[in-house]
Structures are given as structure tokens and as C-alpha cells.
Amino acid sequence: MRAAAALVALILIVCAPARADDVPLVADLSSHLVAITTGFTGTDVLLFGATDGPGDIVVVVRGPQKDIDVRRKERFGPIWVNATSVSLKDVPSYYRVASTRPLAEFAPDELQERYQLGLQNLRFNIPSTNLPPEETGAFRTALVRLKTENGLYNEEVGSVNMMSSRLFRTELHFPSNVPTGTYLVEVYLFRDNAVTSAEIVPFTVSKIGVGADVYDFAMNYGAIYGILSVMLAVAAGYAASAAFRRT
């Protein structure tokens, strides 16, 4: 059903010559909401679009920015403890880049850096510390590695499929641990080693259902939630104890 809807949308885009002449790049998503329920195990969202002629497409998905403390563990006798830490500001909670072919083949290094295309070009705001630059760089590398291992950062070269000289599509995967918030999908059209057009499509990742209600209550009324949780645990333990005594 989703693929059929996307196909219809692509046909409508192609059949709108006036718009195609005015706008070199048109893109949209099969869904503008990723709904996280109790049984959420991850999902894919289809991005599709059209251009007014040949070119290379780059798709970048960025999640809400957060501040993250990265700590390095060091051995203290027989145990490992947290030692040096660095606070990284404005870190995307989710980052994925997809392209028609390797970026180095059509995107100059200065454009990759300007638009933060690729994991190596992600810019984190690192407050001044007493550590040398190479050591703070090691913390940045560790953060990118951990995000990648958790499926929250990814690079997919060649995953944007050109269905013709004008039509393109790609599947954007969001794992079960995807953070909630407002996301931005940036679509760039490259020609002759330059960005000739760009479009930004927003969408939302949100919790829904009973799980969302419990989460909101816990976040907004933390003290009450903690007291109720303790009372529920005590009641459950008492009920189990009474049941076993009867048997």
C-alpha cells in the first residue's frame, strides 16, 4: 500500500511540468509521523521525489540535537571507573546520510564540510577544555562509534535509487531505540560539483498510546510517579506473599 501510494505521488510529480520547470527538486515522505507504540521494533519510511534532469542526490536525516557527556573509563586497581569526561554540545541524536554514489565522486570536500555530509564532517560544539585537540577528537570519535553501533548513525552509499533520469527513492530506517522529537530530512541535488537545489522535509517521531501517557506522566510528575511505583511494587510483593501462604 505504501509503495503504491508513493508510485502515484511520483506519477503526479512527473505529470506536473509547470512545477518541474519552476522547481528543480521535489521530495516528500510516505509518512510524516513515526509512531512509537509498546511493541515498536523499528520501521522504514520511504522518501521519494523527482528532479528536472540528471544529477546526484544526497539525503541527510538529522534528529533533535542534544548535549552529551562522553566519559573515558580507566583502570583503578581491579575495577574500571569513569575518569576524564568531555561535554559535546549540539549533537544530533540521529544522523543518516544516503547518496546515489560515493560523495567523493561528485561533491567537493568544501561542500561536504559546509553541509555536514558524512560522519567525518559532523560538527559538534566542544567547549574549551584543558585537553589537547587530538584527545578531544578521540572523544568525538568514540561518540560517533557508539552511535553507529546503536544504529543511530549510518552512511549508505548508493542507497538512493534513480528510477529514471528524474525519479529517485530511498528507504530511511529508524531502529527501535530512535529518539523522539522533530526530524529534518535534507535533500540535495548536485550537478557539476555544486549544489543546484535543496529541499527540507520535516517529520515527527512520537510516542503514542498507553506507553506515551505513562512516559509523559513520569517526565512531568516524577516524584508522584516514583511514589506510585514504590507503592505498586510493595502491593505486588504483598499479594504474591499472600498467594504463596495460601498454597
The grid cell for 76 is 583503578
| 125 and 218 fall within a common domain | no
H/E run at residue 181: strand 181-191
| 148 and 215 fall within a common domain | no
| 224 and 167 fall within a common domain | no
Q: How far apart are CA 41 and CA 39, in angstroms?
A: 6
Beta bridge partners, 68, equal: 88
What global pTM score does this model have?
0.76
pLDDT tens digits for range 171-201:
999 999 999 999 999 999 999 999 999 999 9
pLDDT of residue 195: 96
| 79 and 151 fall within a common domain | yes
The answer to whether 28 touches 201, Cβ cutoff 8 Å, is yes
Domain extent, residue 31, equals: 2-207
Find all residues with CB under 8 Å of 171, minimum gap 6, and list them.
Answer: 44, 45, 46, 47, 159
Higher pLDDT, 109 or 230: 109
CATH of the domain at 169: 2.60.40.1930
Q: How many domains does the chain have?
A: 2
Find all residues with CB under 8 Å of 208, minimum gap 6, and list them.
Answer: 35, 36, 37
| 144 and 238 fall within a common domain | no
Stretch 145-169: mean pLDDT, rounded?
A: 91
Stretch 207-234: mean pLDDT, rounded?
A: 63
| 190 and 169 fall within a common domain | yes
| 147 and 242 fall within a common domain | no
| 152 and 240 fall within a common domain | no
